[in-house]
Structure 1
Amino acid sequence: MVIDFSGGKIIVTPHELVIKVSSEHRISLQAHADAISLIGRGANVIAANGSENKWSIKLDNEQQLNQIAGQIGVEVQ
């Protein structure tokens, strides 16, 4: 599944998530599904925290967060 948001594109599979940030620098963020936390309640943030990575990015709305949650099977906190 591909989700467009104001910062670029989110590519979601059941096993991983890749975010391609719209930038002249071609930034990509990638994480396995088990390293992802989804933070709702108005924050609408994807946070990745694994043994070798730590990053977060804010989404435009809760609907995007719920789409990701449905695809990777991670509950929104």
Structure 2
Amino acid sequence: MKLDEYLKINGISGASFAERIGVNPATVFRIRTGRVFPHRSTLTAIVVATDGAVSANDLVEIPKKEKGGHTS
């Protein structure tokens, strides 16, 4: 589950989530919008704070391979 989706479903503001994981609200915004990938400690804090609902894999955009080995 994407972080943005998790926060919306659970009615959590970016600012309160930022406080919960110990980062600046702007950092949470940039992570939510895919502008930055979180540092390892922040990534761990996100996974813990969401009880695993948001995983490291959810925060990484990896293109899917199509037949023939091309990426999309």
Using the size of structure 1 for normalisation, the TM-score is: 0.32
Using the size of structure 2 for normalisation, the TM-score is: 0.34
Q: Which has the larger radius of gyration?
A: 2
Structure with a larger share of its residues in helix? 2
Q: Which has the higher contact order (CA 8 A, sep 6+)?
A: 2
Structure with a larger share of its residues in strand? 1
